[in-house]
Chains A and B, each alone.
Chain A
Amino acid sequence: MLRVGCILRGGGGVLLCLHRTAQYRYPSGPERVLTRSLSRTPDSSRVALKLRTRLGVTLLVGVALLGAWWWVEQERQQRRRRQRVEQLRTVALGQGTFSLLDHTGRRRTKQDFLGRWVLLYFGFTHCPDICPDELDKLSAVVSALDRDPALPRLQPLFITVDPERDDVAALARYVRDFHPRLVGLTGTPEEVRHAGRDFRVYASAGPKDEDGDYIVDHSVLLYLVSPDGLFLDYYNRTKSPEQIADSIRNHIRNHVPFGAPV
Chain B
Amino acid sequence: MAAPNSAQRKACWDARDQLWQCLDDNNDKIQSCQRFQGDFEAKCPAQWVKYFSKRRDFLKYKDKMQREGFTPAEEVSVQFA
Residues of A near any B CB (own CB < 8 A): 125-126, 128-129, 132, 165-166, 170, 173-174, 177, 209-215
Contact = CB atoms under 8 A, between A and B. Distances in A.
Q: Is the interface of B mostly helix, strand, loop or mixed?
A: helix
A173 B51 contact: no
The range of chain B's interface size is 10 to 19
B13 interface: yes
B51 A215 contact: yes
B46 A126 contact: no
Complex A-B, nearest 8 residue pairs according to Cβ-Cβ distance, in ascending order: A125-B3, A177-B6, A213-B47, A128-B48, A126-B3, A128-B51, A215-B47, A209-B46
Interface of B: 1-6, 9, 12-13, 44-48, 50-52
Nearest to B45: A213
A177 B3 contact: no
Q: DSSP majority for the A interface? A: loop
Contact of B3 (A170, A212, A214): A170
25 contacts: A126-B3, A126-B45, A126-B47, A128-B12, A128-B48, A128-B51, A129-B9, A129-B13, A132-B6, A165-B3, A170-B2, A173-B2, A173-B3, A174-B3, A177-B6, A209-B46, A209-B47, A209-B50, A210-B46, A211-B1, A211-B45, A212-B1, A213-B1, A213-B47, A214-B47
